[in-house]
Amino acid sequence: MASRAESSETSRNKCAACFRQYNKIEHLVEHMKISYHSVHEPMCGICKKHCRSFESLREHLIGPLPKVECEKIFSARGCSLCLSILDSPNALRAHRSICQFSRGALASQMSNFGISENEMYKEFRTDMRRTQGPQVVALGCKMVGGGSDGSLDLCARVCIIDQDENILFKTYVKPQIPVTNYRFDLTGIRAEHIRDAMPLRQVQRMIQDFLCNGEALWKIRTKGGKARILVGHGLDHDLECLGMEYPPLMIRDTAKYPPLMKTSKLSNSLKYLTQAYLGYDIQTGIQDPYEDCVAAMRLYMRMSLQAHPIEDSPTLSETQIRNNFANWKQKDLEKMTPEQMLELSRSDYYCWCLDANQVIEP
């Protein structure tokens, strides 16, 4: 009799998001305070379990030890890229033709490895002054080696694209110190490509002018101007190698976005993310920064276009995201059902789906 009552109590103390069960209600309350469950978490379309990342959801559906019921349905009607569940196998086939991207479309844009890229900047400033331009851009860089052992990363190629994957700026960059390793097998860069290339300081000014709509960066920091959202993979490293700073609130980094990270909370490579969530391979030979820009932009668009329910979500101007539990007393929380506590819970990261629903003014 006692075991049955204990089982009933444990069931009542089951998290409505991740389905973890606790012996005491106070343990469930503590779990909810630190788990930050929300409508923005990846969720199984079958059992509705919330997962911290898409990697966790993938393991739940098709991992080494998946949930049997979910695996059976997913194998028949599930998309292995976006992990959504379709109504029928026929609907799945139609969905896949749209969901999977193709690398072939990048060939024409990636074909130019010549010094003529440096001529693109002549139209860059004119176009920038003529229009406000897109509000979301992606940045990609390729590095050569400096220093005595060639291990120091030096930016030697940079590319910026818009949301439609059009090249806005692409050039070779002349590093400020000598190059000791061109890393040709990966970069395709030779000495002649950067001998007369655009100096790094000029590249810095042009990128900053464009990202900040021609305004000074200090105005952006003090909320006196508007900036574009900057998308990329490993942007901290790219910006460091460019010798630039950018407001963190305006950065969308696919290497640091929690839903795209590993279950161990480490970053996935852009190569893996593109293959797993877009369905094609990149960086298979000589690497072009345009290819990286496109992959990062497509990942950003896929994440930002998720149809999450509307809630009183945190805004970009908030420096720290807090759950709503601080406004409630412990004894009142313990009287709530798991579903009521889930309604109070909020995410501890800014979901990119919110970019489509608000004007971004850092």
Does residue 124 surpass a pLDDT of 90? no
SS3 13: coil
Q: Any bridge partners for residue 139, and if so which?
A: 160
Q: Residue 181 corresponds to which tokens in the numbers above? A: 């390793």
3-state secondary structure 340-357: HHHHHCCCCCCCHHHHHH
More confident: 356 or 89 = 89
Does residue 111 surpass a pLDDT of 70? no
Rg (CA), the chain: 24
Q: Residue 243 corresponds to which tokens in the numbers above? A: 């010798």
More confident: 133 or 101 = 101
* Average pLDDT estimate for 51-55: 96
CA distance 229 to 212: 10
Element (H, E) at 173: strand 167-174
Which ranges in 63-139 belong to alpha helices (H)? Answer: 68-77, 89-99, 107-110, 121-130
User: What DSSP letter does each residue of 246-267 carry, written as one string?
Assistant: --GGGEEETTT-GGGS-TTSPP
CA distance 159 to 207: 10
Quick one: pLDDT at residue 224? 41
Element (H, E) at 61: helix 54-62
* Average pLDDT estimate for 221-233: 75
* Average pLDDT estimate for 298-307: 94
Quick one: pLDDT at residue 223? 52
76 neighbors 88 (Cβ within 8 angstroms): no
244 neighbors 238 (Cβ within 8 angstroms): no
Quick one: pLDDT at residue 131? 43
CA distance 252 to 239: 13
Quick one: pLDDT at residue 115? 39
133 neighbors 228 (Cβ within 8 angstroms): yes
> Who contacts 328 (Cβ-Cβ below 8 Å, separation ≥6)?
344
> Who contacts 220 (Cβ-Cβ below 8 Å, separation ≥6)?
212, 226, 227, 247, 250, 362
Of 356, 331, 330, 328, nearest to 344 by C-alpha is 328
Does residue 126 surpass a pLDDT of 50? no
| Domains, the chain, with CATH or none | 2-100+311-348 (no CATH), 121-304 (3.30.420.10)
CA distance 140 to 237: 11
CA distance 51 to 229: 27
Q: Residue 345 corresponds to which tokens in the numbers above? A: 């819970």
Does residue 284 surpass a pLDDT of 60? yes
CA distance 209 to 218: 12
Lowest mean pLDDT among 79-93, 248-262, 320-334: 320-334
Quick one: pLDDT at residue 20? 96
Quick one: pLDDT at residue 234? 97
pLDDT confidence band for 106 (50 / 70 / 90): low
Mean pLDDT of the chain: 85
Quick one: pLDDT at residue 212? 80
* Average pLDDT estimate for 58-66: 94
Does residue 290 surpass a pLDDT of 80? yes
* Average pLDDT estimate for 138-153: 95
Quick one: pLDDT at residue 12? 80
More confident: 351 or 319 = 351
Does residue 304 surpass a pLDDT of 90? yes
* Average pLDDT estimate for 274-301: 95
Does residue 58 surpass a pLDDT of 70? yes
Lowest mean pLDDT among 43-52, 99-108, 294-303, 321-330: 99-108
Quick one: pLDDT at residue 108? 53
Please give the share of the chain, as a percent, with pLDDT higher than 90. Answer: 70
